Structure 1
């Protein structure tokens, strides 16, 4: 942890310095009220006209007025120069050399937001300077002690056996802030709110703003924002003012982000400390994701045992029902996600790992799972088909946030069964749904009678031979020549053999489509104007999907 390096952020405000002066003498704040929060890092004495040229910025100036007494017509100019050189404020002795503060001087101070303070002519620079640095050093020392305490607490969070929810609660308590963690779809993962009023309402307003900005199209010359933390913003809401920022948690598959709400403005040290807390939370999320993937292998093993055993293992069933609390009344179904990996980043498992993370997020570990090629099979407890539809909708929503662009998937669902012992039947139902074509992205087992009619032919050698002579020849041609004949034929059937709509769906000229269809007839020896030949091609394409070759489709 490295919070102590933020000492340069520790300073006094003009208001705090004025409090020091007021405690020692009779002082008046006469102009520049809007600069009360100007930062003061040093205190300096200004008694020469050209002294303003030596300012480094953030100085609180003490003056008897000697530098200005011969140039009183230029008082606004002195104010302007102090402001331009970064001066924080000026305290001037009353009546020592400056007989009055002119109206134009005070107006310029208000314009520049440079506080002008009058102090007694007998004021001691030494006393003021000593009190200034005493308070500054005290503030810095307090910040150092607080930073060490925060460092110690954050380190304990790293090594303690806390889950992500416990870390969020600890960070909220440590910093006195409200925290809500969202995933990349801006769905809440976990939150913890302080006792301050309306933080929940402020958080929802902040979430709407940042999600709207994320979904807004970027300008052509606008570079993507890769910063882990956004700049804090002030939310001026009817029920109060709040301060908020978003912190992206690094290296999490669902790109979790931590949104922070506070009733008070953040200083540099707080922001640094909260960022360190975000790093701890990232570590916890990464750890939980690794654990989830290890458990996924165990789920896959259990699923395969149930699929490949003629007689279900009673002890295994009892273990699964007990672990998932599936021993109460309920219904079970299988869901298959068929997908195409169009990732261009060189990692063919990137999409699959992302989908595994989404599945674990949606089902919270209450599922069995396995995969075959480019299809993932999930087995869950449901109440009815509406649960399945809600899952499909949310899953599709998460896919829109996949970093490489939304992939094409088809989601199929089995019939609903009364026992997890029927898992092999659920699997075979799901396998049949991979034969369906659906524009909605979700199909149910009982949705297509033709596919269910074909399913018994899955192991028929004669049918497979016919398939290889027809559709198989197209697949071989596509593989050898990088062609698109299988895709074209499927699109042709998907669009009810309407050539115009098929050409539009494939983004090709209609003559190109006619050429491809003629090529298909030549390779298969079948005539698309003959009803028997056409049926053979349609059955072959259904069988193509059933055999799991549909991943070559685009």
Structure 2
């Protein structure tokens, strides 16, 4: 709330002053006026101050005259006005040179201009500007308060601010995704590059960022929206025309109202998540005694359980190991990773069906969604599996892009006809992830129907071990040279259904090398690999090896 030196030069007695030096400081702001007639200026000067003096106390001390300018620069004072003709006489060139270096405007006041001719008009102008700004601020506050009480979105905030400052306005979340926009060219969609967005996280209260659109680029001033040291988003204002002090007042009020609205919306979202989490816990614990009760709870949350459902669980691989490896020891960092995963899953799943239930649960995200296809015949089953496979792959791809060094394993259930069957099938999906990790490693996609047989086999205990020992025990023996190589060769050979050419290509070995290895395997096991029934039992034994490894 001030005037600039440039503006002050047309007010009262300053209109007769001559600007000697310091032209680079003409846009400094003046907030107060004082007369300086002491030999030592240190401790007397203030920021944004117009200093008027005759230099009487330092008329014979050239160094003290220069020191006035130095102290003004340190204090961020605005302008120095001197009656040089009163006691000093000629203007010292050294003062002009230093004023240019420090960008402190240096004025020469004619002898016939009194100090009162300067101080009174300038202070009056400052008070008038402050009064205008206070009045404007009060008007803006009334408008923004009404919006805060009545609006249920950020759109009225953007529209009101755009109207007040006559600039295009965009309100974004912390990831620079549009939440609201308004103005003459509000239909143009601008993209902000990730590197520039990241730089905004470390910026001060305001800065600029480039937005790109098909019609060209545009520079925006951005203003962070903070609540309790948390950044909720930004208000972006186009800079085709410069912003004024009055614009800044309107923007500050808009930031406050936007913050309130974002916090309100977050509270609603958190409440919704809490209700959804309660629903999930009741479903997977088997708390519902009737389908009708489950249907009613789901419908109250805008979800539908009266159709065939699919359960998908996305689980962070070795979460504790990741935390230790990356030294994310604080709860905030771990929570960020979990929330980021939940956001990724939610965005991917809701593109397919907005009615899906997506809940963060410990180190996992659990999804219960309507089956993607209505036709569940043989053709429909294949198409549905392809959709779910693509969804899982998209989630894994986004996680690798946005969460460095993080992988997820994903389990997918078979079709669920009855919401009361969700509880056992949830445990089956958990089991599918665990089995697939044990047999194939982390970062895999597991359909329950693909691992169901291994789940059944894993429950056999000692009979399964006896079966394995009888079929592969002689080969899987520490005394056998290169046993891991031979077992892997046998596994690939069986997966290729006995096709030697395909097997050699997959193993990147010559067919003669493959023939030699297969002969060794037959010799060690004392059997012929040709009969299909023999290959089937060996295939089964090779695949249950991972199930037994942890027990031995």
TM-score category of the 2 structures, normalised to the smaller one: 0.5 to 0.7
Give the distance between the partners of 1:289 and 1:304, measured in 2 at CA.
Answer: 22
Question: 1:252-331 alignment to 2 at 5 Å?
Answer: 256-258=232-234, 260-261=236-237, 263=239, 264=242, 273=253, 276-277=256-257, 279-297=259-277, 300=280, 316=295, 323=302
Question: 1:468-479 alignment to 2 at 5 Å?
Answer: none
Give the distance between the partners of 1:192 and 1:288, measured in 2 at CA.
Answer: 22
**Change in CA separation of 1:535 and 1:326 when aligned onto 2, cut-off 3 Å:** closer
Partner of 1:411: 410
**Change in CA separation of 1:199 and 1:60 when aligned onto 2, cut-off 3 Å:** farther
> Size of the alignment, in residue pairs?
453
Partner of 2:224: 246
Candidates 9, 20, 26, aligned match of 1:30: 20
Candidates 98, 119, 123, aligned match of 1:129: 119
Partner of 1:513: none
**Change in CA separation of 1:300 and 1:138 when aligned onto 2, cut-off 3 Å:** same
SS of residue in 2 equivalent to 1:366: coil
- Residue 129 of structure 1: how far off its partner (Å): 1.6
Candidates 519, 533, 539, aligned match of 2:544: 539
Instruction: Pick 1 or 2: higher relative contact order, CA cutoff 8 A, min separation 6.
Output: 1
Say whether 1:13 aligns with 2:12.
no
Partner of 1:335: 312
Structure 1 gap segments, 5+ residues each: 1-9, 215-224, 401-405, 471-491, 499-528, 550-554
Task: Map Cα deviations across residues 322-362 of structure 1 (whole Å, 9 max, x no partner).
Answer: 956999xx997542213466376689x95767755554455
Give the distance between the partners of 1:31 and 1:373, measured in 2 at CA.
Answer: 67
Say whether 1:230 aligns with 2:204.
yes
Say whether 1:443 aligns with 2:416.
no
Question: 1:68-467 alignment to 2 at 5 Å?
Answer: 76=66, 78-84=68-74, 86-93=76-83, 95-97=85-87, 99-160=89-150, 162-163=152-153, 178-183=169-174, 186=175, 188=177, 190-192=179-181, 194-195=183-184, 204=192, 208-211=195-198, 230-234=204-208, 242-250=220-228, 256-258=232-234, 260-261=236-237, 263=239, 264=242, 273=253, 276-277=256-257, 279-297=259-277, 300=280, 316=295, 323=302, 334-339=311-316, 342=320, 355-356=341-342, 359-360=345-346, 362-363=348-349, 366-369=355-358, 376-380=365-369, 384=387, 385-395=389-399, 397=401, 399-400=403-404, 409-413=408-412, 430=429, 433-434=432-433, 435-437=435-437, 441-445=443-447, 449=450, 451-456=451-456, 463=460
Structure 2 gap segments, 5+ residues each: 324-328, 374-386, 468-482, 490-523, 527-536
**Change in CA separation of 1:276 and 1:66 when aligned onto 2, cut-off 3 Å:** same
**Larger of the two Rg values belongs to structure:** 2
Give the distance between the partners of 1:386 and 1:104, measured in 2 at CA.
Answer: 75
Give the distance between the partners of 1:211 and 1:72, measured in 2 at CA.
Answer: 51
- Residue 394 of structure 1: how far off its partner (Å): 2.7
* Contact 1:247–1:257 (CA under 8 A) maintained in structure 2: yes
TM-score (normalizing by structure 2): 0.60
* Contact 1:46–1:67 (CA under 8 A) maintained in structure 2: no
Task: Map Cα deviations across residues 507-535 of structure 1 (whole Å, 9 max, x no partner).
Answer: xxxxxxxxxxxxxxxxxxxxxx9999998
Give the distance between the partners of 2:217 and 2:331, measured in 1 at CA.
Answer: 50
SS of residue in 1 equivalent to 2:436: coil
- Residue 32 of structure 1: how far off its partner (Å): 0.5
**Change in CA separation of 1:306 and 1:14 when aligned onto 2, cut-off 3 Å:** same
* Contact 1:64–1:121 (CA under 8 A) maintained in structure 2: no
Give the distance between the partners of 1:371 and 1:80, measured in 2 at CA.
Answer: 60
**Change in CA separation of 1:249 and 1:195 when aligned onto 2, cut-off 3 Å:** farther
**Change in CA separation of 1:74 and 1:457 when aligned onto 2, cut-off 3 Å:** closer
- Residue 162 of structure 1: how far off its partner (Å): 1.2
Could you tell which deviates more after superposition, 338-347 or 141-150? 338-347
Partner of 2:504: none
Give the distance between the partners of 2:137 and 2:44, measured in 1 at CA.
Answer: 34
**Change in CA separation of 1:36 and 1:530 when aligned onto 2, cut-off 3 Å:** farther
Task: Map Cα deviations across residues 358-379 of structure 1 (whole Å, 9 max, x no partner).
Answer: 5445555531357998654313
* Contact 2:11–2:121 (CA under 8 A) maintained in structure 1: yes
* Contact 2:219–2:238 (CA under 8 A) maintained in structure 1: no
